[in-house]
Structure 1
């Protein structure tokens, strides 16, 4: 016999799978030639069971890795091509009784990107090490996966970008924990303020070389970028860093286009996360129950 508790438990498992793998379960399919899978698309950094919240049931938890494998981030005078992978690994799951969802995030992992033109912003001037400029994206707060306030958003990421150069010191950032660069990344079409115009991402589909890896493109061009902080002794070089980067950049003048690859696994072999077929079946069941409850 299926009682209310068992129905709730099944719904929690399905909902955990769908929400945690929002890339798979909710994005529309699309066609695009896929790039080779980089080695960073792996689950080696998954939180251990001991790192999950106390009392977490592994049957209701999933580990995912989302790797930005290419694209660009443009703001102000900066138009940075992403030529090195940037990986985000996280675990999420539901309490099978309360249905409360929880996350455990790892830090972003990736090598710093070399900024063309260096600290002077002049092509070819960065041949000397002290004129080179590298940028490294870091989390300024936990991301949100499919945030409830906007179903069109796949990921809300709050970032700060460390500027790496001996003249700028070790604390020079664009964005901060208190004033981050907030990206509302979507597979769909953006609605930015002028002068930017709408752009559209690309829905998820399995990679042709590995059906357990899913490719997509997420975009945002409605975000703003704050001024620099902590550049040089006592922040004396903040103004110079801002002049170089063209900051602050108001909303509607910046663009993020991220090519991504995602992979996931459940914490239990008997969990609802073992295959894409189960995810889609779970989604269908929830939608049917929702229709019946109306």
Structure 2
């Protein structure tokens, strides 16, 4: 199997993350601000005997998540998938294993907190005001599952809600009962080889890849307030638990990809 074939196969894996990146949305003819291939654990991802293994990064540029009655806008760079893909059996290269960027308990999924519109009271005036403001953070509870040829990814996650009254252990979803996001590719958009813009820089990028997950179940809140005393308030505010109808996540992402041999 030639390297060109391997690289072509690797591009079909474009939703598996690579290193946590400081990456600006690429513009034709502009310099790519992307320099974190070294966060891919190349010794675990790449097999020099077979030339198989890929490092990738997904940076969400924009998105909207609806959970129950909450609508949350996902800001540029607030969610990333980080790691690579190993292919341990060269006779079955479609059998792949996701390898996160580091064994840090995040499973290769990195996020920044985002404001919940309306805050605790559901009104614009309470959104950014002290004890009524709420921040939400996506946390993975297990490794993502990759669907190589459809570019789909399943993310088992929970939402951590942060607020002075809710405490530091308030979650929607859990390790045993997560929110399962099955992100299906809607449109990959045009791929660009980074080396065409910046000679000597490996890999390719899909600047505007869109994905969507719909109708996923969302459990009720746990751990909110002292001994869970405010679980009912979160459930009432967010209209939880929700069986799935109407829940959705839509994203537009920059997907970066480099075959392992390019990074040696």
TM beyond 0.5: yes
Distance 1:182 1:45 in 2: 29
Query: Paired residue for 1:203?
Result: 188
How many angstroms does 1:18 deviate by?
2.5
Q: 1:134-155 CA distances to partner (integer Å, 9 max, x unpaired)?
A: 10101121111117xxx65611
**2:20 aligned with 1:22, yes or no?**
no
The residue correspondences of 1:3-82 to structure 2 (distance < 5 A) are 10=1, 14=5, 18=9, 21-23=12-14, 36-37=25-26, 43-44=36-37, 46-50=39-43, 52=44, 57-58=47-48, 59-82=51-74
Query: Paired residue for 2:227?
Result: 234
How many angstroms does 1:176 deviate by?
0.9
Q: 1:19 to 1:178 in 2, by over 3 A?
A: farther
How many angstroms does 1:46 deviate by?
2.6
Which of 59, 63, 87 does residue 80 from structure 2 map onto? 87
Query: Paired residue for 1:133?
Result: 134
Q: 1:234 to 1:270 in 2, by over 3 A?
A: closer
How many angstroms does 1:217 deviate by?
0.8
**Cα contact 2:7–2:259 (8 A) shared by 1:** no
- Uncovered stretches (5+) of structure 1, i.e. residues with no partner: 1-9, 25-34, 188-200, 272-294
Distance 1:14 1:126 in 2: 51
Distance 1:256 1:71 in 2: 7
How many angstroms does 1:270 deviate by?
9.0
TM-score by length of 2: 0.76
- Secondary structure of 1:186's aligned partner: strand
Please report the RMSD computed on the Cα atoms of aligned residues, expressed in angstroms.
3.2
Aligned residue pairs: how many? 233
How many angstroms does 1:233 deviate by?
1.7
- Secondary structure of 1:223's aligned partner: coil
Q: 1:199-239 CA distances to partner (integer Å, 9 max, x unpaired)?
A: xx323322699693202110122211111111112111111
Distance 1:104 1:154 in 2: 16
Distance 1:155 1:266 in 2: 19
Distance 2:86 2:135 in 1: 36
How many angstroms does 1:174 deviate by?
0.8
Larger strand proportion of the pair: 2
Query: Paired residue for 2:100?
Result: 105
The residue correspondences of 1:245-284 to structure 2 (distance < 5 A) are 245-269=238-262
Q: 1:103 to 1:208 in 2, by over 3 A?
A: closer
Query: Paired residue for 2:174?
Result: 176
**Cα contact 2:219–2:242 (8 A) shared by 1:** yes
Query: Paired residue for 1:274?
Result: none
